[in-house]
Amino acid sequence: MKVLVTGGAGFIGSRLTRRLLTEGCRVTVLDNFSPQIHAGRAELPADLAGRVTLVRGDVSERAVLASALADQEVVVHLAAETGTGQSMYEVERYQKVNLGGTALLFDLLTNGKTSVRKVVTASSRAIYGEGKYRCPSHGVVYPGKRRAEDVKAGKFEPLCPTCRAECSMLPTDESSAISPASFYGITKQVQEQMTLMFGEVLGISAFALRYQNVYGPGQSLSNPYTGILAIFSNLARAGRPINVFEDGMPSRDFVYIDDVVEATWRCIKPETRGVAALNVGGGQSVTVHEIARSVVEHFGSASPVTVSGAFREGDIRHNLADLTKARALIGYEPKVKFADGLREFLSWAAGQQAVAVKYEQSLQELKEKGLLHG
């Protein structure tokens, strides 16, 4: 197969490209080597150089994308801006890349001569917002965005939209209500809807993969807007304080990079056909405080871990993906337990050159925009 991977030089893209090569695919990578994501690196990893066709440029540039699409059979659309907090003030930038780039992709597929028969787009669990919960009185509910006044008062758990009782998290399935709490989440929702709609319109297969929190060796250690594992590991290695938001108990579904690549490949395979949105998660939920403690312990760091009570606009409280549909449709089953994946990531991070920690700078930007409280 001839496969175009937009954002193919990034964390997920480069790992997926290696898998595609082992499967005998002819791969084209489109990437603009954004400094925020690539930390100044403007070349493919050495093991990929010369083995793929590289197209340099932005996914929102018509001529560039049209050139990359020539003769492709499958498009894996990963190129995107990915910072949840940053999206709340870099609005035009996120609109241009995430929405504009995806709209341009389908404009070209709709109006041009193309051999593309399948599109796989990176969606996100961010489209759900808070996701699915259970109220003691009203059963399954979708709380929506938490009120700032509630969180400031220490009411961190989502409340029932009917009786305002505290709710407990349930695994969120693909039929759950969609209610993004950040502009990033909105862009992912629209990207996904475009993918599924045009898949039906064009009569091609289309999959939107709702990735949970992807992590693993190779992810950016220098991007302060995404990845708490990278942020915490940088701070711990430098012996600097680690401040955990809210009461330390927000939880996330972390999915290891190898599991993400496997799920994505299962959608790319020629025998997989259809139009569907699928959760891709790790199968367990871990608290942020637990993660911070594990990182500090791994490095033997003197970094103090403190619970700040602060919170960011756009943050959710919990998430855990229901993987029933992905199991049934593509046979996906996460293989890497979080404890094992975390150990692999931290061992890899320990061998990387220390990078300047710009996390506080990113928080200051949020505070100046009125998006960080406490």
Catalytic residue positions?
184
How many CA atoms lie within 13 Å of 49's alpha carbon, on the beta-carbon side?
A: 5
- Give burial (CB, 10 Å; 0-12/13-18/19+) of 208: buried
Range list of β-strands (E), 202-323 = 205-211, 213-215, 242-244, 251-252, 254-256, 275-280, 286-287, 305-307, 311-312
Cβ atoms 162, 64 nearer than 8 A? no
Helices (H), ranges, 255-321 = 257-268, 288-299
Cβ atoms 213, 287 nearer than 8 A? no
* Residues shown for the chain: 374
* Helix axis angle, 338-350 to 228-237, nearest 10°: 50
Residue for token pair 């039906």: 200
Cα 168 to the center of its chain, rounded Å: 24
CA distance 355 to 308: 24
294-311 per-residue burial string, b: 16 or more CB within 10 A, e: under 16? bbbebbebebebeeebbb
Residue for token pair 């046979």: 331
CA distance 254 to 213: 5
Q: How far is CA 283 from CA 294, 320, 324, 337, in A?
A: 19, 7, 11, 8
Q: Give ∠ CA 114-119-125 in degrees, rounded to 5.
A: 155
Of all residues in the chain, what percent are helix, strand and coil, respectively (each to 5)? 40, 20, 45
Side chain identity, residue 286: V
